[in-house]
Amino acid sequence: MFESPFGARIMCLDVSLQDEILITGDKKGNIAAFPFHKTLAAHDSSEAQQKIPLRDRFKGAHGISSVTSVQIITSASDHIEIHTTGGDGCICFFKYGRNVKKFEFVGMRQLKELGTIQSIYANHASGNQLVGTYAIGFTSADFIIWDLENDTKLVQISCGGWRCPYSYYLGTVPEYQNCFAFVKDHSIHVHRHWAPAQDRKPLPQVFHTQFHGREVHSLCFIDPASYSHPEKSADLWIATGCEDGTVRLTGYSASSAGRWCSSKLLGEHVGGLAVRDTCFIPKTYTLADKSRNSSVSSADTWVENKDTTYILISVGSKQVLTAWILEPRIAENNKQVCSSGLDLDTKQGSECSDNSDSAVTFQWLSTHMPPKLGTKRLKADHVKLNFEEGGKGNSSAQPNLAIMDQMENDWRYLSVTAFLLKHPATELTVCFVVVACSDATVVLRALLLPSRLWFDVAMLVPQASPVLVLRHIVVASSAHCEGDVYNGDRYIIVSGSTDGTITLWDLTDTIHGFMQLVSETKPHMVIDCQKRPKTGRGSQGGRRRWRSLANSSVKKGNEQALLPSENNLNTSAAAVEISHGTPGALENEVISTENTVSSTQSCDVPEVQPLQMLTGVHQSGVNCLHVSEMERQSCSMPGMSYCIISGGDDQAVQCFVFTLGSPQACSTNTSNIISSPDKGGLQILDQHTVPSAHGSAVKGIWTDGAWAFSTGLDQRIRCWKMSPSGKFTEHSHVIISVPEPETLDVFHDRGSGKYHIAVAGRGMQMVEFSPPEDDSMKIA
Tens-digit pLDDT profile for residues 217-239: 999 999 887 776 666 566 889 99
Please say if the pLDDT value at position 334 is more than 50.
Answer: no
Q: Are 236 and 220 in contact (CB under 8 A)?
A: no
Q: Name 101's Cβ contacts closer than 8 Å, sequence gap at least 6.
A: 33, 55, 56
* Chain centre to alpha carbon of residue 439: 22
* 150 vs 133: CA distance, rounded Å: 9
The proportion of the chain whose per-residue pLDDT surpasses 90, expressed as a percent, equals: 39
pLDDT of 241 strictly over 90 = yes
pLDDT at 642: 92
Whether 326 has a pLDDT exceeding 50, the answer reads: yes
Asked if the model's pLDDT at residue 686 lies above 80, the reply is: yes
How far apart are the C-alpha atoms of 86 and 535, rounded to whole Å? 12
CA distance 238 to 759: 11
Q: What is the mean pLDDT of residues 623-634?
A: 83
Per-residue pLDDT of 413-462, as tens digits, reads 999 999 999 988 887 899 999 999 999 999 999 999 888 889 999 999 98
Bridge partners (DSSP) listed for residue 33: 23, 56
Integer Cα distance of 449 and 264 in angstroms: 27
At residue 635 the predicted structure's pLDDT band, cuts being 50, 70 and 90, is low
Are 679 and 665 in contact by the 8 Å Cβ rule? The answer is no
CB 624 within 8 A of CB 701: yes
Confirm if 349 and 361 have CB atoms less than 8 A apart. Answer: no
573 closest CA partner among 607, 617, 541: 607
Q: pLDDT tens digits for 259-314?
A: 888 888 888 888 788 999 999 999 888 886 554 443 333 333 334 444 578 999 99
- Highest-scoring range by mean pLDDT, 386-395, 409-418, 630-639: 409-418
Instruction: Collapse the DSSP code of 290 into the 3-class scheme (helix H, G, I; strand E, B; otherwise coil) and give the result.
Output: coil
pLDDT at 38 over 90: no
Collect all residues with Cβ–Cβ distance below 8 Å to 774 and sequence separation of at least 6: none
Listed in sequence order, the residues at least 6 apart from 690 whose beta carbon sits closer than 8 Å to its beta carbon are 652, 653, 728, 730
